[in-house]
Structure formats: structure tokens, C-alpha cells
Amino acid sequence: MKIKWGIVSCGRIAKDFTAALQTLDKKEHEVVAVAARDLKKAEAFAQEFDVPKFYGSYEELAKDPDVEVTYVATINPSHVCVCKMMMDNGKSVLCEKPMGMNRKQCEELIAYAKKSNVFLMEAMWARFNPAYVELRKMICSEKIGKVKHANCTFGIPMQDVERLGMKKLGGGITLDIGIYCVHLASVAFWREKPEKIIASGYLTDEGVDWSASVIMEYSGGRSAAFTYSGLISMANEASVTATEGVIKLRTPFWCTDVLEDMESNEVIFKVPIVELPNTNFMNSYILRFEAEEVRKCIMKGKLQSSTMSWDDTLAVHEILDEIRHQLGVVYDEDISTMNPSRTRKSGSSDINQESKCSKAL
């Protein structure tokens, strides 16, 4: 059976995701509509990707009865209100990472999905990358013994991405790329919570984080350590070291297509490449695997994925919150969620939330 996608936003990742969707069986996935705040952009997108319907507002797409599942790829601070709008209209939601600006916002969306009885998942595509699936199997079966350390660097100059420098637009790179490093640790130490998190980094005067190093400690001397930066290129490899082997996730580790045995330098797993021309990001064809997971879950009537569960999302965001706290990055969203009197009650909306939404819509 086919699921019918609505693409919410016409940004770079929305384009890559749509291109990846179109590599899947047309009997299983169909893109039926796209929406942008600018009708012309939506029209151009529809033409480029051969999407039958396009809208100049997210609301119109939300109300399109033909759309079953929405891919929300708007800017980070708008995820909460856009996802809610989709859920209000009964649509399943795959929300681009970070699902929320903090754990509290993720909790809010999860509660909303439960209440609305719709599927919701954070689009952590690395989770469904066959290389990560293989890695997870090796880890969980202890094929390489017990994991002792996970390590990665993620550095790409991104100062030209304007929103990343603007705090009001959810700027900073912990939520954009640090999340992949935290996610790697969540795979390496499969769903285990670190005992201690130590983060140190570099912020602009405005309080936007552009680079950071993080140490996470697990019981018995196990640890993860990573550095990420939006200022410079880095090695961008990851390694997971266990008692009986060291696995390298070849660059770019967050969407790697190769696992390597570090000692022999031998390739131990390779993701079959699907050609996807003119994409914005590296290895974007790997986005198809999270789309397949969404379909499988919806077919089974599930509200969440058991592979990237709501708890998994919350666990990653709890760590991200702590890292940002130590770095000194505070968003408006943190302040409103930190102050109980301003916490939004389910179903109602406060002024702050409304103004965020009107900005986003």
C-alpha cells in the first residue's frame, strides 16, 4: 500500500528528502503536495520534483485530505507549532531533527501525537542508515565485544548558513550537528544514559555556539568524546572501540556508507549506493531508509518507531540540553519552558507560542 507524503517547506533538506523518496517504489511512496510560505517557491519545487499540488502556506497543506504523512523541514524553532498543525489535521509527522529546541518541546510534541493518535518520529536518518543498523547489530550482539569508547569529529564550515548565526532562528550548531555526535554515542552505548557530561565550546557574543568538545562518561570507565564545529573542516570520522575490535565509520560518519575494521583497514559493510544527482547534502540517498521506516510504522498502525522511539528522542535531547547548558546557550524556548507559569497547557496556546508560530507560518 502507498503512503501519500506532503512536504512542508522547500528548503535544501526538503529537496534532498523528496529526491530520496522518489528513489523508492512508487507503489509505496507518493509525494502528493508541497508547501512553502512563498507560493512561487512551492511552485518551483513542485515543478522540479513533479509534485502535483503546491501551496503557499503550511496550513493549506495541513488541510489537504489527500496528504497522509508530512515531512516537516521548516526551521528548528517552528517545529513545535508546524508539527502540531499537521497533527491537528490528523497527519502523521516525520519531523526534521531537532524535533524541538529542547527536551521539553519534544515532550510536548510527543504528548500531542499521543493525544492526536498520529505517528510522530524525529527524522534522525542516521538511525536507519543500513551502516548504523549493522553497527547496532554488531554492538548489541557483542560481536566486537563490549563497547568501551565512541569518538568522532564533525566539522564543516557553515558560517554562510545565515540562520545558524541567528539565535532567534535557533542558531548554533549543537542542535544541527552536535546531535549527530550524541546520536552516535546513543548507538554505541545502545540506549544507555551517560553518568557524566562535560562540554566546553566557543560561542559568539550573541550566545550562539559555533564549536564544542564534549566528553560523556559511562560506568566502568567507558566514554564517548567528540568535537564539532561549524567553523572548520575536520576529519569527520567516527570510531567505536570495543574489547574485541574497533569499527570506523568512514567520513562523513553521520551518513557514512562504509564501516571499516580499524585494525585491518578492511571494509566490513557497505551501503548500496543509489545515484541521486544534484542533492544539497552528502549521501542524501540514505534519507530513503527513514522514509521506509515511517511507512512500515504507519502500515502497522504504530504511533512511534521502535528503532527511533520517543524515548530515544528524549534521551538524545536531554543530553543536548545539558551540553547547551554547559556551553551557555540559552534559547527563548528554554526560558519559557523553564518558567512554569509560562508553560503551555496541552490544547491551549500562550502568546509566546503564538508569536513563534506566526513567525514560522
Tell me how far apart the alpha carbons of residues 338 and 17 are, in angstroms, rounded to a whole number: 34
Site string for its own copies, 104-143 (x = CB under 8 A): ----------------------------------------
200 contacts its own copies (rule: CB under 8 A): yes
One of 23, 57, 213, 307 touching its own copies (CB under 8 A): 213
Round to the nearest angstrom and report the end-to-end CA distance of the chain: 32
312 three-state secondary structure = helix
159 contacts its own copies (rule: CB under 8 A): no
Binding region for its own copies (CB under 8 A) out of 89-97, 184-192, 221-229, 290-298: 221-229
Q: Is 303 exposed, middle or buried (0-12, 13-18, 19+ CB in 10 A)?
A: middle
Tell me how far apart the alpha carbons of residues 176 and 158 are, in angstroms, rounded to a whole number: 11
192 contacts its own copies (rule: CB under 8 A): no
Tell me how far apart the alpha carbons of residues 105 and 73 are, in angstroms, rounded to a whole number: 16
283 contacts its own copies (rule: CB under 8 A): no
Cα atoms in the Cβ-side hemisphere of radius 13 Å centred on 83: 34
| Cell numbers for 160 | 554562510
Nearer to its own copies, 125 or 254 (CB): 254
Tell me how far apart the alpha carbons of residues 36 and 15 are, in angstroms, rounded to a whole number: 12
239 contacts its own copies (rule: CB under 8 A): yes
- How many residues bind its own copies (CB under 8 A)? The answer is 37
Looking at beta carbons, which pairs linking 340-347 to residues 24 or more positions away fall under 8 Å? 344/108, 346/108, 346/111, 346/112, 346/115, 347/115
Place of cell 497522509: 68
CB of 202 to its own copies, least distance (A): 3
| Cell numbers for 147 | 563497547
One of 65, 221, 272, 301 touching its own copies (CB under 8 A): 221
One of 18, 78, 116, 241 touching its own copies (CB under 8 A): 241
Does residue 181 contact residue 154 with C-beta atoms inside 8 Å?
yes
Q: Which pairing describes strands 69-72 and 3-8: parallel, antiparallel, or unpaired?
A: parallel
Nearer to its own copies, 192 or 217 (CB): 217
Binding region for its own copies (CB under 8 A) out of 59-67, 134-142, 216-224, 347-355: 216-224
246 contacts its own copies (rule: CB under 8 A): yes
182 contacts its own copies (rule: CB under 8 A): no
211 contacts its own copies (rule: CB under 8 A): yes
**DSSP string covering 256-307:** -SEEEETTTTEEEEEPPP---TT-SSTTGGGHHHHHHHHHHHHHTT-SS-SS
Q: Which residues inside 248-277 make contact with its own copies, applying CB under 8 A?
A: 248, 262-263
Binding region for its own copies (CB under 8 A) out of 91-99, 115-123, 231-239, 351-359: 231-239
CB of 129 to its own copies, least distance (A): 20
| Cell numbers for 159 | 558560517
CB of 168 to its own copies, least distance (A): 22
229 contacts its own copies (rule: CB under 8 A): yes
Tell me how far apart the alpha carbons of residues 256 and 333 are, in angstroms, rounded to a whole number: 32
233 contacts its own copies (rule: CB under 8 A): yes
DSSP 171: -
One of 168, 193, 196, 342 touching its own copies (CB under 8 A): 196
Binding site for its own copies (CB under 8 A): 148-149, 151, 153, 155, 196, 198, 200-202, 210-211, 213, 215, 217, 220-221, 223, 225-227, 229, 231-235, 237, 239, 241-243, 245-246, 248, 262-263
